[in-house]
Amino acid sequence: MNEQPIRWGIAPIGWRNDDMPEIGAGNTLSHLLSDIVVAGFEGTEVGGFFPDAQALNKELALRNLRIAGQWFSSYIIRDGIELVIEPFRKQCQYLKEVKADVIVVSEQTGSIQGTEQNVFAEKPNFNEAEWEQLCAGLNELGAVAKEYGLRLVYHHHMGTGVQTAEEVDRLMDGTDPAQVALLYDTGHIFVSDGDYMMLLRKHIGRIGHVHFKDARRAVLDDCRESGKSFMQSFLSGMFTVPGDGCIDFREVYDLLLEHGYYGWIVIEAEQDPDVAHPLEYALIARRYIDGQLLNRLQV
Ligand SMILES: O=C1C[C@@H](O)[C@H](O)[C@@H](O)C1=O
Ligand SMILES: [Co+2]
């Protein structure tokens, strides 16, 4: 019996990547979901290639899998909240139909995550008025998400205006804890700031969803030095699954448990699936979770 109030998932991003839909395009939904079962995970997040809710629910039920949530790119600052609410509601409705728990929001105004720009040096920075507009808009979206039984979790992300620990502080200070929770992504904060524990300690009470993404230090250093874009960096192998990089997930997991975190921890490691076999890496993650996190040997 699983006594942990935590659900373990793995994201489609190792098989197919919404930031670069051309990679892994031959990997079907059936292939992905069946690999997830083989690797022993309970669910996944919705990818851009997923079908309508009815078709997805059928495939999930056949494999006893669940949906944790789905990414939503918001443009609150660029477009204004009024224009964001309609597509947001549409996505919430879909997520309600597939019985998801969270909607993952990332403000993409000025984002360079999908461009060829140097992700280590050219991120956008919001001014005071923009921060206020963003925070107020997120509070509104959080209230809308609740109508659909979902929790809005904000994803700090490389190449965006909410990337560093300081920027996450600003966002958390400016938003209502009842409407906006935090998605803690180990890989993004490590690549951005190096220290991944400080953010976790500071905002542990606001965390509503977790992405476990590991990083290869030597590749990261090389990408930073050569000023690579976000996409070039992950194609070079900057990210990997837990157990294959330099992040110590034991301290992360322990702190989450200590503070009674419940909800999803989703393994999320974007690599080129032609280089990093998705099932092989899912199994590496599974072995690490089982051996280093769940059934740790006491010494
Ligand atoms: O949660 C995520 C979703 C992806 O689309 C994104 O680019 C990735 O880095 C991530 O952390
Ligand atoms: Co993530």
Q: Quick check: is 1 in a domain?
A: no
pLDDT digits (tens, 9 = 90+) for 187-197: 999 999 999 99
Q: Quick check: is 45 in a domain?
A: yes
Number of domains in the chain: 1
With cut-offs at 50, 70 and 90, classify the pLDDT of residue 1: very low
Share of the chain above pLDDT 90, in %: 96
> What is the model's pLDDT at position 296?
79
Q: Quick check: is 239 in a domain?
A: yes
The ipTM (two decimal places) reads 0.97
Asked if residue 211 has its Cβ within 6 Å of ligand 1, the reply is: yes
Asked if residue 71 has its Cβ within 6 Å of ligand 1, the reply is: yes
Most ligand 1 atoms within 8 A of CB, residue of 74, 162, 268 to mutate: 268
Asked if residue 130 has its Cβ within 6 Å of ligand 1, the reply is: no
Which residue type, as a one-letter code, is found at position 81? I
Asked if residue 268 has its Cβ within 6 Å of ligand 1, the reply is: yes
CA of 270 to the centre of ligand 1 (A): 8
Q: Which domain, by its residues, includes 181? A: 7-298
pLDDT digits (tens, 9 = 90+) for 109-167: 999 999 999 999 999 999 999 999 999 999 999 999 999 999 999 999 999 999 999 99
What is the number of the ligand closest to the CA of 111?
1
Q: Quick check: is 2 in a domain?
A: no
- Beta bridge mates, 73: 106
Contact, 269 vs 241, CB < 8 A? yes
Q: Quick check: is 232 in a domain?
A: yes
What is the number of the ligand closest to the CA of 48?
1
Q: Quick check: is 225 in a domain?
A: yes
SS3 111: coil
The enclosing H or E element of 181 equals strand 181-185
pLDDT digits (tens, 9 = 90+) for 19-55: 999 999 999 999 999 999 999 999 999 999 999 999 9
185 Cα nearest atom in ligand 1: 11
Contact, 207 vs 242, CB < 8 A? no
Asked if residue 19 has its Cβ within 6 Å of ligand 1, the reply is: yes
Q: Quick check: is 272 in a domain?
A: yes
| DSSP result, 208-256 | EEEEE-EE-HHHHHHHHHHT--HHHHHHTT-EE-TTSSS--HHHHHHHH
Mean pLDDT, range 217-232, rounded to an integer: 98
Asked if residue 214 has its Cβ within 6 Å of ligand 1, the reply is: no
Q: Mean pLDDT across the chain, nearest whole number?
A: 96
> What is the model's pLDDT at position 98?
98
Residue 253, domain CATH: 3.20.20.150
- Number of other CB atoms surrounding residue 258 within 10 Å: 9
Most ligand 1 atoms within 8 A of CB, residue of 102, 155, 162 to mutate: 155
Asked if residue 18 has its Cβ within 6 Å of ligand 1, the reply is: yes
Q: Quick check: is 42 in a domain?
A: yes
- Number of other CB atoms surrounding residue 78 within 10 Å: 15
What is the number of the ligand closest to the CA of 212?
2
